[in-house]
Amino acid sequence: MEEGGSVRWLYREKPDREEDSGWRLFEGTENDEYNSHASNISIVNVYALLDKDPSLITPLRGEFGTAFEREDINRPWTQINDWDGL
């Protein structure tokens, strides 16, 4: 959620703890090395996300095991049906 960035890829897995929604959100250009550093990962309040990008309401309604992507913030969300990343 850095300035000028937007969520372009997200998926939902089983939560790690009670307060966890299970959603994992990405800008879409992160690599494994970037994601392996805990300092690059943060917990964000869902309302803060929706304030920044109201279109997130569509994918955030998804069930566990769902994934969504889009080309950029001006494009619609597409559910990924053949994703087996879980």
Q: What is the DSSP string of 8-66?
A: -EEEE---SSTT---EEEE-S---HHHHT-GGG-----HHHHHHH-GGGGTGGGPPTT-
Asked if residue 46 belongs to a domain, the reply is: yes
pTM: 0.84
Asked if residue 86 belongs to a domain, the reply is: no
State which residues form the domain around 46: 9-79
Can you tell me whether residue 78 is helix, strand or coil?
A: strand
In terms of Cβ atoms closer than 10 Å to its own Cβ (0-12, 13-18, 19+), residue 11 is: buried
Q: What's the number of CA atoms in the CB half-sphere (13 Å) around residue 53?
A: 24
Asked if residue 85 belongs to a domain, the reply is: no
Kindly give the confidence (pLDDT) of every residue in the chain, 86 residues in length, as a single tens digit, with 9 standing for 90 and above.
667 778 999 999 999 888 889 999 999 889 999 999 999 888 888 888 899 999 999 999 999 999 999 999 899 999 998 877 65
Domains: count for the chain: 1
Asked if residue 1 belongs to a domain, the reply is: no
Asked if residue 31 belongs to a domain, the reply is: yes
Asked if residue 25 belongs to a domain, the reply is: yes
- Check residue 2 and give its pLDDT: 65
Asked if residue 4 belongs to a domain, the reply is: no
- Check residue 83 and give its pLDDT: 76
